Amino acid sequence: MGFARSDVEALSASLNEPDWVLERRLEAWTWFEKMELPGEKEEPWRYTNLARLKFKLDDFSVVPAVGKESVVPSSAGSSWVELSPDRSGEGHQYGSTVSMTRPDMELDSGGVIVADIHTAIEQHPELVKPHLFSQFDSATHIFSALHGALFFGGAFIYVPRGKTLSLPVEYGCHITKAGTSIFPHTLVVVEENAEVCYLERFSSSGLGGSGLSDAAIEVVAGQASRVFVATIQDYEKGVWHFHNHRYRTGRDASFKSLVVTLGGKFSRTEVTTEILGEGNSVDMMGIYLAGEGQHFDFRTLQDHAAPHSTSDLLYKGALKDNARTVYSGQIRVRPEGRETDAYQTNRNLILSDNAMANSKPELEIENNDVRCSHAASVGQMDENEVFYLQSRGIDRISAERLIVKGFLEEVLGKVGRKDIRGMVEHLLEEKLS
């Protein structure tokens, strides 16, 4: 098992890719060959030691690409929850099988494109080439390099100027065989005064072993666009998940991101929002529930490179058993980012004596005319609250569940969309039960 340059070349050949894509893959592979697993001596991985967690890349192999299918398999896993029967587009990736189906009628006109990333490379290179890997740096660490070399699957969404997709586009990533890996890469391009909601979900069922998920998403939000991106990770306990989010917003854009992390043995999520346009409004939200030895690691950046913009980050999670979570976030205001209004909050609720949460918010300010603040907290459940609920006839387990749901309500209240919120609430209820 393991990965080799021949895997990169075989994958590209099976997809009949143009030379420019293969060149980007091989450049990433060159970086991969030079790299080792990150360790605690590297600041971005200060609280996460993969060697101590017994992670080995040699335990996994790439799934040979077998092409694209037009029919979605009947089951997406026992944890799969249907959003609704109506979507602007739906895609699924089962190992090496990729499909995009059920396009909504509104896609039939207006220039909207919803496709898998490989079809888009083939049929719309003029739209894909300028943006694919434009924000993603394969040299960041070994997992970004491996992803850049072996990306397979993922969606491409293009919403032209003035077009609104009222229904969400959904893409599901599923690991179907133990010891295998997936590398989905999604690209979303939204032009001026356009609107889209994109939902990406990760699941597995009956693995009976470990799996590797190394994913990335790039979003280009144009002037005055309205974009909502939600990702939900609900893998089985044997999966190692790495997810790199790269968002870029234009003038007067309204952008929301939601990260929900529930499953997997290990999950590392990196979210960078480049705020490049004046008058931007950005909300970055996160919810996580960790237990039974799970290790979740979050790293965020609110990068203000334009004046008169706002960003508000709120990540909240609850931990039980011997779980561990890490949050490391930064607000960066560049010299040109005058009159920036930025906030960053991470709060953790500890439900057992052996759970541990690390939180490390930071500010890097290069302009005096700003208003920025950050906050972090790690605290145990208030026994007085538990006692009050028990005195009203509620058993302890149900009381704790109510307190956790109330703790997370602050984030859920910011979601806005009833369809996304309803799905998240359902999954939280399953996890808490």
SS3 track for 238-270: CEEEEEEEEEEECCCCEEEEEEEECCCCEEEEE
Helix-, strand-, coil-residue percentages of the chain, each rounded to 5? 25, 40, 35
Amino acid at residue number 194? A
Given a cut of 50, whether residue 229 has pLDDT beyond it is: yes
pLDDT in tens, 145-192: 999 999 999 999 999 999 999 889 999 999 988 999 999 999 999 999
Identify residue 402 by its one-letter amino acid code: L
Q: What is the pLDDT of residue 1?
A: 65
| Residues 146 and 3: beta-carbon distance below 8 Å | yes
* pLDDT above 50 (res 70): no
pTM score: 0.93
Q: What is the pLDDT of residue 77?
A: 45
Q: Which domain holds residue 44?
A: 5-432
Domains: count for the chain: 1
Question: 385-397 pLDDT, tens per residue?
Answer: 888 888 888 888 8
Place of tokens 């894509």: 21
**Span 3-55, pLDDT tens digits:** 999 999 999 999 999 999 999 999 999 999 999 999 888 889 999 999 999 99
Whether 102 has a pLDDT exceeding 70, the answer reads no
Task: Please write the tens of the pLDDT for every residue from 333-351.
Answer: 999 999 999 999 999 999 9
Q: For residue 204, what pLDDT band results from cuts at 50, 70 and 90?
A: very high
User: pLDDT per residue over 358-391, tens digit each?
Assistant: 999 999 999 999 999 999 999 998 888 888 888 8
The span from the CA of 320 to the CA of 32, in Å, is 35
Say whether pLDDT at 59 is over 60: yes
Give the separation between CA 211 and CA 213, rounded to whole angstroms. Answer: 7
